[in-house]
Structure 1
Amino acid sequence: MREKLLRIGTTYIPVTNVDLAADWYVKKLEAELSYKDEDKAILNLANQSIFLVKSLEGQSSNFLDIYGSERFSLTFEVDGIKALEALHKDFKQSEINVGEIEDRGHAGRNFTFFDPDGNKFDVWSELSPSFK
């Protein structure tokens, strides 16, 4: 069966201050800013368009699973464990709120990090087959 949906083109992330958030994503994650107004910023990051949308205080893209654990809605990929370790070190040196590298019982390793609004993201050391 052919896939009807080819890729995820845009992800929307709630932020309280568009200017500060856009600046953080550009400086800390090396995103490319392609548009910004008072309500949103559009970034190019990890082969995807990311919209930072001005939202109410306390909003985030995180959610709780059935066990009450906070979950992330996005996982970024890097090419191998060495790339993961280097990025983890870089994020720590850049003073990004970052978790420890974890073994979650599947191929590769992961770590989580947060943006200034508390949006939680994951990084995985395994590339999807189409990027290999």
Structure 2
Amino acid sequence: MNSNLTFTRIGYAYVPTTHIDSSIEWYTKHLQCKLVQKFEDRGSMIAVLHFPHLHSAALLLVETEDDRPLYLARNGRPFPILAFNCPDIEGTHRRLKLGGVEVEPLQSLGEGEAKYFYFRDDAGNYLEAAWSIWDPEDELREQQ
């Protein structure tokens, strides 16, 4: 490992929820995450979720009493807090929509070099599903 590096990658992404068990169920069902661990920290529960790719950041659901779904404001409009790579963006859009997830229309950038759509999780957090010709390839994790 190169010890001269200050940072090597994004390690975790924190996503709030007021109902951790239903959010765990939502993320494992719709985004195919795997629950790795659930524990109490500073008075509320945290769930560690992994995506199937070996080098992906962990998603940490953080239970809170504060019902404030996350989004960024971009020029006065909501903008997602996270983007998830999808190897089959059209299939993912169709699957989420059929699964009852609130999804927005599929968008294309340029001449189809990138495609994306926005959606909300069960806690109302504003998220993005994305695909592009520039997405890095990664290995899958061993099945645990």
Q: TM-score, normalised by structure 1?
A: 0.84
- Structure showing the higher strand proportion among its residues: 2
| Residue 104 of structure 2 is aligned to residue 99 of structure 1 | yes
Aligned partner (choices 20, 32, 35) of residue 34 of structure 2: 32
| Residue 76 of structure 2 is aligned to residue 68 of structure 1 | yes
**Pairs within 5 Å for 1:1-132:** 4-37=6-39, 39-45=45-51, 47-65=56-74, 67-79=75-87, 83-105=88-110, 107-126=113-132, 128=134, 130-131=136-137
Question: Does the 8 A contact of 1:42 with 1:52 survive in 2?
Answer: yes
Counterpart Cα distance in 2 of 1:77 and 1:5: 22
AA aligned opposite 1:17: H
User: What does the per-residue CA deviation read over 1:68-109, in whole Å, with 9 as the maximum and x for residues that have no partner?
Assistant: 100111111123xxx111111111111111110013458311
Q: 1:131 to 1:4 in 2, by over 3 A?
A: farther
Counterpart Cα distance in 2 of 1:6 and 1:86: 32
Counterpart Cα distance in 1 of 2:117 and 2:65: 27
Cα drift, residue 61 of structure 1 = 2.4
Identity of aligned residues (%): 24
- Structure showing the higher helix proportion among its residues: 1
RMSD between superposed Cα atoms in Å: 2.1
Ranges in structure 2 where 5+ consecutive residues have no aligned partner: 139-144
Q: How many residues align?
A: 127
Ranges in structure 1 where 5+ consecutive residues have no aligned partner: none
Q: TM-score, normalised by structure 2?
A: 0.78
Q: 1:129 to 1:93 in 2, by over 3 A?
A: closer
